[in-house]
Chain A
């Protein structure tokens, strides 16, 4: 697919974001997205299917998302496409969690 992921040779990207003493994960949600994806590699989805899922992100969204936001998109796409959970269940749970916080 001629998707937004195929960027070898593209010009006008920002300077390379070099960060000294970078942590492995920058937040707990990044670690969780990574671990949930890892736990489904091999068990449910071939790694290449996971890669392709992030490539299916609309180009504008792909290029304005961080690395783990793209992983989250791929994870959500695959678990809903394969009917592990529904989009409605995810939204409903988000609302519940938001309400219980307030």
Chain B
């Protein structure tokens, strides 16, 4: 983690002062802040992206539309929103592994995956994902075979990216909802694969 020059309590005091001033001056409304915080803490998150992935796994026509034009296919599911206005979905295959980063800040498809985790926002990830993606993936426990092409997507502009992970074996009979339950946030950024469901216990 980054070292902190200021004590947490000092920062909290500073933020409180700014909040009080902006509210008093009518620039922000406390109810608006509550709405925004509640949306990202409780409503928006990787479960949205997982639904998109599961749909693509069971519906080949949807998958085709999703890969051809992510924005309009995601709009069909009414899952677009702020910081996901222009979406590109990239597919992992046995020959291609995709990894998403934003080197200049931490651009991320907020409406689809929620706010990014600390690791995605870290200097370590932002700096190394482009120059050493395989080393980064190893830190996540993912060894990509030499013959597989690693494709890094730097989301420096206004497009936001989502990885369509490979559907794991042993999931052929699962429903869309159950499939969505397997899909993790990291799998949709490219730092994990979707695991097969645990073998049933006899």
Contacts and interface: CB of A to CB of B under 8 A. Distances in A.
Interface of A: 5-11, 13-19, 22, 24-25, 27-29, 31-36, 38-40, 44, 51, 54, 61, 63-67, 69, 72, 75-76, 79, 84-85, 89-90, 93-94, 97-98
A16 B124 CA distance: 5
A29 B131 contact: no
A6 B127 CA distance: 8
Interface stretch (B7-15, B71-79, B162-170): B7-15
A67 B121 contact: yes
Nearest to B117: A22
B127 A18 contact: no
Interface of B: 1-6, 8, 11-22, 25, 27-29, 32-34, 36-37, 40-41, 82, 103-106, 114-115, 117-119, 121-128, 130-131, 136, 139-140, 154
Given A24-B41, A97-B13, A13 B2 contact: no
B130 A97 contact: no
B40 A24 contact: yes
Given A22-B118, A84-B22, A97 B16 contact: yes
Contact of B18 (A5, A39, A90): A90
- Which 3 pairs show the lowest CB-CB distances between chains A and B? A8-B103, A93-B17, A13-B124
B13 A98 contact: yes
B119 A65 contact: no
A39 B119 contact: no
A39 B25 CA distance: 14
29 contacts: A5-B105, A6-B103, A6-B104, A8-B103, A8-B127, A8-B131, A10-B123, A10-B127, A14-B1, A16-B119, A16-B128, A16-B140, A22-B118, A24-B114, A24-B115, A29-B15, A33-B15, A36-B19, A38-B36, A39-B33, A51-B104, A54-B105, A63-B123, A65-B4, A69-B6, A90-B18, A93-B20, A94-B17, A97-B16
Contacts of A85: 18, 21-22, 25
A7 B105 contact: no
A66 B25 contact: no
A28 B12 contact: yes
A19 B118 contact: yes
B127 A72 contact: no
A89 B18 CA distance: 9
A69 B1 CA distance: 13
B21 A89 contact: yes
Contacts of B82: 38
Given A6-B104, A61-B5, A17 B118 contact: yes
A90 B4 contact: no
Contacts of A40: 27-28
B18 A27 contact: no
B21 A90 contact: yes
